[in-house]
Amino acid sequence: MGLLDGRTAIITGAASGNGAAIARLLAAEGASVALLDIDGGGAANQAAAISDDTGAPVFGARCDVTHAADVEAAVFQTLETFGRIDVLVNNAGILLDTPLPGLDMTAWERTLAVNLTGPLRFIDTVAPAMIAQGEGGAIINITSIGGSLGFASYAAYCASKAGLMGVTRAAALALAPHRIRVNAVAPGIIHTEMTRGLYADPAALAEITAKIPLGYVGEAVEVAKTVLYLACDLSSYVTGTELTVDAGYVAQ
């Protein structure tokens, strides 16, 4: 018996990194999973690998979270394929340089479109299906320690993740009457394609690792385990909160 037997999950940004690890773990725990990514081929390949390894019903498809039509099509395809949606994980995100002064407004607007408006659009599109099912649901937004800490060269990223936590709280209150729980997971420094540039050389990696209380850079599966907790009934009384997965980084 899995923790998510009989449930269906949508994961955005699922072709690689945290999203792929989340999709794999939720599938292993019994969920049917829709893997969505702007890299549709990557999502399809990841879905095929997860299906081979777990036997779970999964599919991968292209979805640009900044396009309303893509979001609507992805939700429709999930309902057509699996008949329901119980879990939404808003994981898709980008990290673009936005140093100050001299802010690149194109990078600013793109970052907010992907990291903030995209998740909000998905929540707004998925919630009616969850409400109609009448059995509650779980929405998990992937924020970041950057939403509570300042990173000098990434003003847009920090703003988008802080904003996503605000959306999390508001949505948690709005959807609570329908027993739809809305929470966030805030990863710290995790080994993914997005963060690889932060520790591209051994010296940079050593410098970053020295700042992490538990003494190592995390793996994507450690984020996935926290998402699983929020997606399943183990967290039945948890909503409107953010769980930080950073080995103690922000506690300093």
In the annotation, is 216 catalytic? Answer: no
Whether the Cβ atoms of residue 98 and residue 91 lie closer than 8 Å to each other: no
Q: What's the burial of 25, exposed, middle or buried (CB within 10 Å: 0-12/13-18/19+)?
A: buried
Helices within the chain (DSSP H only): 17-28, 40-54, 68-82, 105-112, 118-133, 155-175, 202-210, 220-231
**What's the length of the chain?**
252
d(CA 210, CA 196): 17
- In order of 172, 204, 231, 242, the CA distances from 198 in angstroms are 33, 7, 30, 24
d(CA 174, CA 237): 16
Listed residue (66, 65, 53) closest to 10, CA to CA: 65
d(CA 124, CA 128): 7
Active-site residue, selected from the candidate residues 157, 199, 216, 229: 157
Q: What's the burial of 222, exposed, middle or buried (CB within 10 Å: 0-12/13-18/19+)?
A: middle
Q: Catalytic residue positions?
A: 157
